[in-house]
Amino acid sequence: MDVFDLRGRLVADYQSYTRSFIKIRDARIAEFVDNSLNAGAFWPEPLLQLNPTFLSGGTIDDLVAKDVLHRECARIFRLDKSDSDHTGKQLFLHEHQRAAIVKAREGKSYVLTSGTGSGKSMTYIVPIVDHVLRSGSGRGIQAIVVYPMNALANSQDEELKKFLEKGYPEGRSPVRFARYTGQEKGDVREAIRSNPPDVLLTNYMMLELLLTRTEDRELVRAAQGLRFLVFDEFHTYRGRQGADVALLIRRCRQAFGGGEIICVGTSATMASGGSSEEQRREVAKAAQSLFGTAFGPDQVISETLERATPEVDLAAGTVKETIRGAIASDEAPPADYDAFRLHPLASWIESTFGVREESGTRALIRQVPRRLQGSDIEGQKSAASELADLLDADPERCSSVLRRFLLHGSKLRRSESSRFPIFAFRLHQFLTRGDTVWATLESEAERHLEITKKAAKPGQPEKPLFPLVFCRQCGTVYYRVKFVSNDQGKAVLPREDRREDDDDGTTDAYLYASAQSPWPRGVGQALLERLPEFMKELSTDGAERLRPESQKDLPESVFVEASGRITREGQGLAAAVIHRNFLFCLEPSCGVAYTKTQRSERNKLATLGVDNRSTATTILAVRSLIELQGDRDLNREARKLLSFTDNRQDASLQAGHFNDFVQVALLRSGLHKAAHQKGSAGLSHGELSRSVFDAMQLPFEEYAADPEIHGPNRNSTHDALRRVIGYHLYRDLQRGWRVTAPNLEDCGLLTFEYVGLGGSDGLLGEARLWDTGFSVREGRAAERLVDTPAALRACTPEIREAAA
């Protein structure tokens, strides 16, 4: 997989979705928006970062030899063990893992801060297992590990099974552990209570319950003398939740009577900014208040990094020349691991995206993520431009060679058994939902435009910028404003959103200004022609006139200065103010009008913002899954997407949305395939659900409650699904039930024909019927002939069909 290409396709999908909502009539604004989007205003260049290489901390065997660890640890902690024995691979530790194990052996509490993929959980699992081995299994709960999410507890559970169960006869694991979360059912919980494990994996809510429920008293008793209390990802407990957890920890100390509890926390980067020493102090402070025990900076263990490539001096004679040669040539990067590692360009890449020396301490720390390519943003160069400047080369060329080196490095390993390649890198792609166009109050040819919110035109604070909205029907531009009328006169101010009240003495309004179709001044024929029907009536002499009650809904003709002040006639910009509700479009060729009860601005006027965030997220997810499913190089179980969100409601909403989307997509693709197979004859109602069912080719076990059944039961299961599909097919065609997913007929992708209506022998062409009339029978009465209405009699079969 080429992740750069994947990024391109992902952004293209998002782009086409976002652009599909944008309709702007003003050519100058449309071009401005188009250029801004092409420059990546809503989908900037991704940031790139290398996963760092951790300094080695030796092996488990080394620590066993030094008696830091119990000798059984050498059998337990091996990689890829088989079910029956302990061969497998030697487990190499990172330096921060070794330091944590030593700290635990000294009986000290500690916090480990490091990034993802740095083996944080090993920093408490190894010491816990070592402790249980030394003190003896089956003496009650000796360690409690608390996870912020059950998903983390589950994956830890899997991980522990590999170490503690593989290679041992069933039930003879040297250390016993159990998961105790809301997922465990009654009998499992009962088994845990009656035979407590050595290590308990749980979450903080469950731990809270465990301390209070009478049925869990056995567990509290079993945890007397607890040695380890671990909070995984403890940086997640902040604010009120942090206070809850801090108090919970204090109650745990009390309940488990532990004088000697070792408190362990793991954390991602907790404090951003500041030197590593300052960060350590911050983390120690946070740990102290959470765990309620003294924590010094020496108890905060952070990652120790090393370079994967040698550091090079760019000023040295041949270094620049070698890099320049690599950029100029079309040669592939060195295939051999060591040749690649020693290439000066590999060193340059690691210094740019991987690690740097911290000033003062000279320790290696992670580089901040950086753009690979693209133009300068606020004086910050992309990596490719920086390299191009250094070598006096073409930035495009630099970018493509850098990509080649990065991709090659992401596959190259020191040896078969190395877990990570030399350049494991990540792309961080940000996508914004967009805002709207902001413009000054000036003529269409002159107004200054911005794609993001700014208070005023740069350098001209007297010209404020106003947000623009666009008629959904025709794309005509309106300024969204607040209307002020007081002692100082009248004015319009920029308004970002619809507001419920106008406590500040302003009212919601829109401003229309068009040189080509200016709003007529005064009440005359020109004005009447621009008004929608519902604002007009016929007077007794048959002339059209304004309804008296519509007087207050008339747009107000004004002249406005760039500052927003309403000024005298003939000065400033000629415009019209629509007060409060947007009732009709002022552009004469549009003609869209709304009733007063349609108050939602969103349905009438658009911005550039993606209205439906859930759909945007689903589109990105679907594209990622399509790409992953198509990548045969990946293991099947690796073809998956993880999605994180910052609150549960959002997660539930998105999950439901995704399911819906997948269902509709499956149904529609089934229909498409069935219709395609049938060809020009089309599908008739009678064969519809069967054909779509066949086209879907769903595996039986995907929908059958009991996939084992045979014979007539199997047929009736098929039949049930066919009927469900039939129902959903028609339900999906119901009009307007999803604004962002119009049905296939609305999109013009599906047409219906009615049997016996059209064609040469259809009812519509039958002259006798239309000329003379048709017979009807009501109840038990005799048939009687009804005349065909004159209008229908006179028209062509095509018009009759449209009417039908």
* DSSP class of 455: S
Closer of 23 and 307 to Zn ion (Cβ): 23
> Segment near Zn ion (CB under 5 A), from 232-240, 271-279, 316-324, 464-472?
464-472
Closer of 433 and 602 to Zn ion (Cβ): 602
CB neighbours (10 Å) of residue 324? 17
* DSSP class of 477: E
Q: What is 345-404 written as a DSSP string?
A: HHHHHIIIIIEEEPTTT--EEEPPPEESSSS-BTTBPPHHHHHHHHHT--HHHHHHHHHH
Rounded Cα distance between 315 and 34, Å, is 43
Q: At what angle do helices 150-164 and 122-135 cross, to 10 degrees?
A: 50
CB of 267 to Zn ion, least distance (A): 54
Rounded Cα distance between 513 and 557, Å, is 10
Closer of 590 and 621 to Zn ion (Cβ): 590
Closer of 146 and 469 to Zn ion (Cβ): 469
Terminal alpha carbon distance of the chain:
53
Q: At what angle do helices 685-696 and 712-732 cross, to 10 degrees?
A: 110
> Segment near Zn ion (CB under 5 A), from 294-302, 423-431, 469-477, 523-531?
469-477
| Residues 195-214 interacting with Zn ion (rule: CB under 5 A) | none
CB neighbours (10 Å) of residue 268? 14
Rounded Cα distance between 486 and 568, Å, is 16
Closest CA to 230 of 290, 184, 190: 290
CB of 438 to Zn ion, least distance (A): 21
CB of 536 to Zn ion, least distance (A): 19
CB of 471 to Zn ion, least distance (A): 3
152 binds Zn ion (CB under 5 A): no
Closer of 14 and 478 to Zn ion (Cβ): 478
| Residues 541-570 interacting with Zn ion (rule: CB under 5 A) | none
CB of 554 to Zn ion, least distance (A): 18
CB of 620 to Zn ion, least distance (A): 31
> Segment near Zn ion (CB under 5 A), from 357-365, 467-475, 722-730, 732-740?
467-475
Binding mask 471-500 for Zn ion (x = CB under 5 A): x-xx-x------------------------
CB of 474 to Zn ion, least distance (A): 3
Rounded Cα distance between 492 and 560, Å, is 8
Rounded Cα distance between 72 and 199, Å, is 17
Closest CA to 692 of 654, 722, 649, 716: 722
- How many residues belong to the site for Zn ion (CB under 5 A)? 7
The residue type of 504 is D
Closer of 90 and 600 to Zn ion (Cβ): 600
Closer of 309 and 476 to Zn ion (Cβ): 476
The 8 Å CB, 24+ separation contacts for 395-401 are: 397/327, 397/328, 398/327, 399/372, 399/373, 401/326, 401/327, 401/345
Closer of 351 and 473 to Zn ion (Cβ): 473
Which residues are within 8 A (CB) of 470 and not within 5 positions of it... i.e. 6 or more apart? Answer: 22, 23, 24, 25, 476, 477, 478, 605, 606, 607
CB of 423 to Zn ion, least distance (A): 53
| Residues 740-799 interacting with Zn ion (rule: CB under 5 A) | none
Rounded Cα distance between 599 and 141, Å, is 62
CB of 25 to Zn ion, least distance (A): 8
* DSSP class of 584: B
CB neighbours (10 Å) of residue 672? 15
Closer of 400 and 473 to Zn ion (Cβ): 473
Binding mask 288-327 for Zn ion (x = CB under 5 A): ----------------------------------------
CB of 517 to Zn ion, least distance (A): 11
CB of 665 to Zn ion, least distance (A): 32
CB of 492 to Zn ion, least distance (A): 20
Closer of 463 and 480 to Zn ion (Cβ): 480
Closest CA to 96 of 117, 80, 75, 70: 117
| Residues 567-596 interacting with Zn ion (rule: CB under 5 A) | 585, 587, 590
Closer of 153 and 437 to Zn ion (Cβ): 437
Closer of 595 and 649 to Zn ion (Cβ): 595
Task: Calculate the alpha carbon distances from 711 to 524, 622, 700, 718 in Å.
Answer: 80, 37, 13, 11
> Segment near Zn ion (CB under 5 A), from 145-153, 263-271, 303-311, 470-478?
470-478
Give residues in contact with Zn ion (CB under 5 A): 471, 473-474, 476, 585, 587, 590
